[in-house]
Amino acid sequence: MEFPFKKKISTEEDTKQVANLFSEVLKEGDIVLLNGNLGSGKTFFVKQICRTFGIDNVTSPTFSIVNEYYGDIKIYHFDFYRINKLVELEDIGFDEYIDDVESIIFIEWADMFPEILPDKNIYNVDFIKTKNEEREISIKFVI
């Protein structure tokens, strides 16, 4: 996979293929920022990537803020959607999660609190609804 990457998708199988390709690039210490409207496929995308690392119990962290998964690699999966104030992330020890270089970190709705995000090993994944049921997945290596 070369960056920037962009692909139109219209099925879950298309999303799986992109997730599988992207998972081949990911390594410990990477942080993946996922942005897109509700229902655009962010959690499904994370689920597919986690499957490639031997993790099958992925659920949306919307209400828990963060889920931890253990398989071939440790994965932290955040969802900022229900966060109202930065202090809520500080209270759960967000900085400690970010400093864990032996994990891959996924953050849904990452654009809500850009000021707390680090400036290392960042991938930005955007899910953009185009027409009908089509979407476009755009992946950039930021830093």
Q: Which of 25 and 142 is assigned the larger pLDDT?
A: 25
Residue 129's alpha-carbon distances to 69, 92, 117, 140, in angstroms, are: 29, 32, 25, 18
Determine contact, residues 107/30, Cβ cutoff 8 Å: no
Q: What's the pLDDT score for residue 8? A: 93
Q: Which of 10 and 105 is assigned the larger pLDDT?
A: 105
Average pLDDT, the chain: 91
Residues contacting 119, CB < 8 A, separation 6+: 143
Calpha distance 42→137 (Å, rounded): 10
Q: What's the pLDDT score for residue 67? A: 93
| Count of residues making up the chain | 143
Q: What's the pLDDT score for residue 51? A: 96
Query: What are 16-74's pLDDT values in tens digits?
Result: 999 999 999 999 999 999 998 887 889 999 999 999 999 998 888 777 889 999 999 99
Of the candidates 1, 9, 85, 64, the residue with the CA atom closest to the CA atom of residue 42: 9
**φ/ψ of residue 24, rounded to 5:** -70, -20
Q: What is the pTM of this model?
A: 0.93
Query: What are 51-65's pLDDT values in tens digits?
Result: 999 999 888 877 788
Residues contacting 92, CB < 8 A, separation 6+: 65, 66
DSSP 39: T
Q: What's the pLDDT score for residue 61? A: 75
